[in-house]
Structure 1
Amino acid sequence: MIQLHDVDLKLLKVFNTIVKCGGFSAAQATLNVAQSTISEQMAHLETRLGVKLCERGRSGFRLTEQGEAIHAATQRLLSAVEDFCVDADVLKREVSGTLNLGVIDSTITDPACPLKQTTQRFVMRGHEVHLHVHIGTPAELEEQVLDGRLHLAVGHFPFRVPGLSYSPLYQESHGFYCGRHHPLAGGHGPKVNLLERIATSRVVARGYLQQRDLQSLGVGKAAATVDNVEAQAMLILSGAYAGFLPEHFARPWVESGDLVHLEPGRLRLLSAFEIITRRGAAAPLIQRAFLDELMQCARTMADAQ
């Protein structure tokens, strides 16, 4: 495979100019060099590529079949280089200011969440950016993205709000837990018996996940309602309630014996995490740059699993 160097790029630009001008002589004025220099440069390029690019003589200038193919490839390459230079220049000049990012609570312990890696990579690129991070409920995040207070937000959004775009990011696994002193803690019988016991227990649910959680358990009504994971964990740890928690968040208390994971693998729910942005709004460069980094990190982490 041919390895391109800076000199090759310069020679390809000369070749492209020759073709554009229609010959060596016609390209002299544009390139501002003697025809003999152009001939030497073309000979060098043909040697580097290992193919004859053109014929010239009394019949005039014309490209060989290989020259036609190389010229087409050269145009694609030069166009890509130009696009890169423009993008790099824009990034250098304009990725600055404040990025307002919203996140649902208690994601920091989730190894599947790409936000930590994204932030590290984004900042290490040298962007002059001030990050403002707001932790909120799904409804709060949706409202603030919609009215422009947040550029984008990451979380689980069970409902769809008109005016917002939702893009999948990753999934969070939830298990069903009770405290070590809860009556359900010693139950190891069949699932049907456990569900019957859960139906007569106090179940706590997050407001925005209440319908999903209760339906999966066959429970008609929650005994307590919270709006974040920490409040849910507090009530479950009390031993008075049982409920769903993100497995990554509950793990330290399971390891210490303060929480009991009931029916692992069977009483398990997945929450789809998404990125929300305002639909139809012209996204500032700082938002696009962070979003691109976030999606790339998510893909890399998914591929590594």
Structure 2
Amino acid sequence: MGAVFSGKNAQLQILISAFPMYREPEVWVIQLHDVDLKLLRVFATIVKCGGFSAAQAALNAGQSTISEQMSHLETRLGVKLCQRGRSGFHLTEQGVAVHEATLRLLAAVENFCLDADVLKQHISGQLNLGIIDTTITDPDSPIPRTTQRFVSRGHDVHLNVYIGSPAELEERVLDGRLHLAVGHFPIHVPGLSYSALYQEALGLYCGRRHPLFASQTEGARLLEEIRASRIVARGYMQHYDLEQLGASKAAATVDNIEALAILIISGAYLGFLPVHFAAQWVKSDDMRQLATNQLQLMSPFDVISRRGLAPPPILRAFLEDLATCSRTANHG
């Protein structure tokens, strides 16, 4: 995708070459006006909400108005973007390609707005932040302190927060939908910059209905019984979790901590949880931490951003506050 600006009423040219129905590379050149950007935002919102009806509240518009806007956009682009009816809402093959290009375009427009802030005396704009799930109970997380410090400076900023798995966060930072993300990233992806923030303590837990909940077994015998139990592992850390237990395979795999906690509470599985997150169920006697001396781990948390790009002022300011709050926590 490329962009060309000219004249007072600049038009944006998007170069779309990713339509999968073409055997030979082709490039579409579409002259976009302000109204087209508005229609593309409508399209992106419809896809995000999962249909015309579901998007009415988000767009503050009736279904007939939304249908008319989509018809106008399809006429402008010359392709059918979606199908809807009794079978539900779904994108056409062309619609999938246009939606992907739309997300890239809107991210580029937002980044342009952020870059333009360098000409202003104060920081303003939209900051898109990603965070791994279940950090709300972590007293060592610098995110709440950073947010308070950042907002208290009087910045005119709209903050968007996305909660996702490590892989989702990395993907969204890479394609520009997120400016930065904080979480546990065991495998470093090319194109991203990783900076260490803090460590999170993990423990092995079982639920009240698990046979080991009331067991008095300790030491090597306990570890043998743990290895013989059903283990639920984090999908992004599966081999690591199993290696810590000396187990050969996982009986269940999850991609987020809340799902892991649900399986542990069921009493059918053992698994690693953040100590701060599990504390609420330990207190209510619904969980028990096992082998506390042998199986308490430390998980590193990093902040990630795209490599090779000069951060816009809004992102630079947030990163500076994040570094300050992280240092304060580590020394305090």
TM-score (norm 2): 0.63
Q: Hey, what does 2:179 align to over in structure 1?
A: 151
Identify the match of residue 237 of structure 1 among 250, 261, 265: 265
Q: Hey, what does 1:109 align to over in structure 2?
A: 137
Q: Hey, what does 1:284 align to over in structure 2?
A: 312
Give the root-mean-square deviation of aligned CA atoms. Answer: 1.4
Q: Distance in 2 between matches of 1:165 and 1:185?
A: 42
Q: Does 1:179 align with 2:207?
A: yes
Listed as ranges, the gaps of 5+ residues in structure 1 are 1-88
Q: Hey, what does 2:216 align to over in structure 1?
A: 188
Q: Hey, what does 1:130 align to over in structure 2?
A: 158
Q: Hey, what does 1:256 align to over in structure 2?
A: 284
Q: Distance in 2 between matches of 1:274 and 1:91?
A: 31
TM alignment of 1:260-279, pairs within 5 A:
260-279=288-307
Q: Distance in 2 between matches of 1:119 and 1:243?
A: 32
Residue 305 of structure 2: SS of its match in structure 1?
A: strand
Code of the aligned partner of 1:159: I
With over 3 angstroms needed to count, the CA separation of the structure-2 counterparts of 1:248 and 1:92, relative to structure 1, is farther
Matched residue count: 216
Q: Distance in 2 between matches of 1:121 and 1:265?
A: 37
Q: Distance in 2 between matches of 1:137 and 1:90?
A: 32
Q: Does 1:220 align with 2:264?
A: no
Q: Distance in 1 between matches of 2:175 and 2:279?
A: 36
Q: What's the offset of the Cα at 1:179? A: 0.5
Higher relative contact order (CA 8 A, sep 6+): 1
Q: Distance in 2 between matches of 1:215 and 1:127?
A: 46
Q: Hey, what does 2:38 align to over in structure 1?
A: none
Q: What's the offset of the Cα at 1:93? A: 2.1
Residue 111 of structure 1: SS of its match in structure 2?
A: coil
Residue 294 of structure 2: SS of its match in structure 1?
A: coil
**CA distances 1:124-181 after superposition (whole Å, capped 9, x unpaired):** 1100000000111111111111111111000000001001110000000000000012
Identify the match of residue 326 of structure 2 among 273, 298, 305: 298
**CA distances 1:240-270 after superposition (whole Å, capped 9, x unpaired):** 1111000000001001100011122321111
Q: What's the offset of the Cα at 1:189? A: 2.5
Q: Does 1:96 align with 2:127?
A: no
Q: Distance in 2 between matches of 1:93 and 1:133?
A: 25
Q: What's the offset of the Cα at 1:195? A: 1.4
Q: Distance in 1 between matches of 2:196 and 2:227?
A: 33
Q: Distance in 1 between matches of 2:327 and 2:119?
A: 22
Instruction: Indicate if the aligned counterparts of 1:202 and 1:223 stay in contact, CA closer than 8 A.
Output: yes
Instruction: Indicate if the aligned counterparts of 2:130 and 2:161 stay in contact, CA closer than 8 A.
Output: yes
Code of the aligned partner of 2:128: N
TM alignment of 1:152-167, pairs within 5 A:
152-167=180-195
Residue 239 of structure 1: SS of its match in structure 2?
A: coil
Instruction: Indicate if the aligned counterparts of 1:177 and 1:259 stay in contact, CA closer than 8 A.
Output: yes
Q: What's the offset of the Cα at 1:101? A: 0.4
**CA distances 1:100-121 after superposition (whole Å, capped 9, x unpaired):** 0010000010000000011011
Q: Hey, what does 1:200 align to over in structure 2?
A: 228
Residue 174 of structure 1: SS of its match in structure 2?
A: strand
Q: Distance in 2 between matches of 1:92 and 1:185?
A: 60
Instruction: Indicate if the aligned counterparts of 1:94 and 1:285 stay in contact, CA closer than 8 A.
Output: no
Instruction: Indicate if the aligned counterparts of 2:231 and 2:250 stay in contact, CA closer than 8 A.
Output: yes
Residue 229 of structure 2: SS of its match in structure 1?
A: coil
Residue 93 of structure 1: SS of its match in structure 2?
A: coil
TM-score (norm 1): 0.69
Q: What's the offset of the Cα at 1:90? A: 6.2
Instruction: Indicate if the aligned counterparts of 2:183 and 2:303 stay in contact, CA closer than 8 A.
Output: yes
Residue 281 of structure 1: SS of its match in structure 2?
A: coil
Q: Which has the larger radius of gyration?
A: 1
* Larger proportion of helix: 1
Instruction: Indicate if the aligned counterparts of 1:181 and 1:239 stay in contact, CA closer than 8 A.
Output: yes
